[in-house]
Structure 1
Amino acid sequence: MTAQPRTRAWRRRPLTELGLPFLLVLTGAGLLRATVRSDVYLRYVKEGLWPYLVASGVLLVALGLAGLGAEVTRRLRQPVLRRDASGRAYWHHPADDHAEAHDEDGHGDGYGHGGATRVAWLLAVPALTLLFVAPPALGSYTASREGSAARVERTAYEELADAPTTPMALEEFIGRSLYDSMSLRGRKIRLLGFVTAGRTPDTWYLNRLKVGCCAGDARTLRVEMHGAKAPADDTWVEVTGVWRPEETTADDPVPTLDVGAVRTVPEPRNPYQDAPPTAG
């Protein structure tokens, strides 16, 4: 009887036993960093999912810490000095009893989890991304590759206030151009969105991305701009102009605005919330 067969499985455990709990902690910390300490989560999902993301982050951290605590406690147990049949002394680790019994009943030899654990470590990449990197929200790359603009449902629009300029969400402007065009005639409108190149050099698009749940299902709302030089792609701007009465189809609704003024603005806190520009 020698020490090596008993200690082989024990020495294979650190990655398996400590790695997965550590990944849980890392992933949970990434979620909490993106939700509690910043608004980064708004670049991936809609705002209403915030409490569920926070709860998931707390649960993952708690489970990971519990797993780490249990494994560290196991490893802090002191080995016991024993003697084999020939009288030679060796250090016996309590964890070896379980590993040896596991070997003898044919269920494994301490090596079975290695491959799965190495694959599991790939989960550290998105977790570390959430912790240390803040990828930008979807923008011109996504909007320019949408074949057609998002459809806008018919709704009852309220009468617009009599004001020199009317701030309006992109979806409302598109909907009014389709179903309530009389409310737009001759009225100066101010819109907010990001820029993409147009079909011709003298045109460009103002866009917003509409999400149902997360960035993966984003659809593009767009308005074609005429009469002003295009800012760089992905630039967030407020545009003031007048609707151009042109035929727009409900299947690919892209109305046109004759631009009077363009003002560069910071990216909004929630880039996927199609809200009217603020007063000013």
Structure 2
Amino acid sequence: MTRPTQGLLMAFLGAVLVRLAFTDAYLRYVTEWMKWPILLSGVLLVVLAVGLVVAPPSSHDGHDGHDHADDDGHGHGGLPLVTWLLVLPGLVTFVISPPQLGSYLAERRSGETAPVAKPADLAQLEEGEVVDVDVTEFIWRAQDGGETLDGQQVALTGFVSYDRDGAWYVSRLTIGCCAADAMAYQVEVDDPSDDAVRPPRDQWVKVTGTYASGTGTDGTTPPTITAAEVVEVEEPRQTYE
């Protein structure tokens, strides 16, 4: 692999990272604070690539200014041909654009939940008003006994997931650093209206209602919200809580 080719490959990878950072596509894979490290890494790769392309041939290059490959696929001073595999992740990102994690992950643990740590910022609940509450905060309040939710009108926003018994959930995912450690959290929706229709899987919804007292207090099963209104909404920019 010649040095200009190495430079083009490096520039391509850098361009992928820059594109991810500028289009917010990186939010599908990592947390929001990773934007600047990703952008900086992409710019650095592009700068290094330019250096490879414009730099004069070194003494390790062949007499004709090119790196010569051995029979086993390795170059003298160059990179092994297997390096071309680095192109694949970039092509996948540009051409296929993998979707967000969603119901597939959440439904692997339908009907189950895990203990939730107390959120750093709790919503200010106002009696008589509808308060937007994170799914994970709603679950934590239920696991804390549910007293703070009793009679309180709340609105939960998340994507729809199902279970085998026909129930459906408003769900959100959390990540520590990247999508590889994603955890799914669900609140079962009880819609008692006569015209209730289960929304499509992975559809984002805003569910307004009240906590079903006594549900989700054991820390192993999801709490339930008794819905007064279910509205389909657009997927938010940041899908992880």
TM-score range, shorter chain: 0.7 to 0.9
User: % of aligned pairs identical?
Assistant: 35
Matches within 5 A, 1:128-167: 128-146=91-109, 148-154=112-118, 160-167=125-132
Matched, 1:211 2:178: no
Q: How far 1:250 moved relative to its partner?
A: 5.0
From 6, 18, 42, give the equivalent of 1:32: 18
**Post-superposition CA distance 1:231-256 (Å, at most 9, x none):** 11100000111111134255424101
TM-score by length of 2: 0.84
Contact (CA 8 Å) 2:145, 2:217: kept in 1 or not? no
Q: Which has the higher helix share?
A: 1
Q: How far 1:46 moved relative to its partner?
A: 0.3
Structure 1 residues 146 and 98: CA distance shift in structure 2, 3 A: same
Q: Runs of at least 4 residues of structure 1 off by over 6 A? A: none
| Partner-residue secondary structure (3-state), 2:198 | coil
Measured in 1, the distance between the counterparts of 2:124 and 2:233 equals 28
**Post-superposition CA distance 1:18-73 (Å, at most 9, x none):** 3332221111100001112x110001100011111111101111111211222xx5
1:231 is matched with 199
| Partner-residue secondary structure (3-state), 2:209 | strand
TM-score by length of 1: 0.73
Paired residues in the alignment total 229
Measured in 2, the distance between the counterparts of 1:250 and 1:60 equals 50
Measured in 1, the distance between the counterparts of 2:232 and 2:168 equals 15
Q: How far 1:164 moved relative to its partner?
A: 2.8
Q: How far 1:126 moved relative to its partner?
A: 0.9
1:61 is matched with 46
- Stretches of structure 2 lacking an aligned partner (at least 5 in a row): none
- Stretches of structure 1 lacking an aligned partner (at least 5 in a row): 1-14, 76-93, 103-108, 275-280
Structure 1 residues 98 and 28: CA distance shift in structure 2, 3 A: closer
In structure 1, give the amino acid aligned to 2:158.
Answer: G
In structure 2, give the amino acid aligned to 1:96.
Answer: H
Measured in 2, the distance between the counterparts of 1:187 and 1:113 equals 70
Measured in 2, the distance between the counterparts of 1:158 and 1:191 equals 12
- Which structure: larger Rg? 1
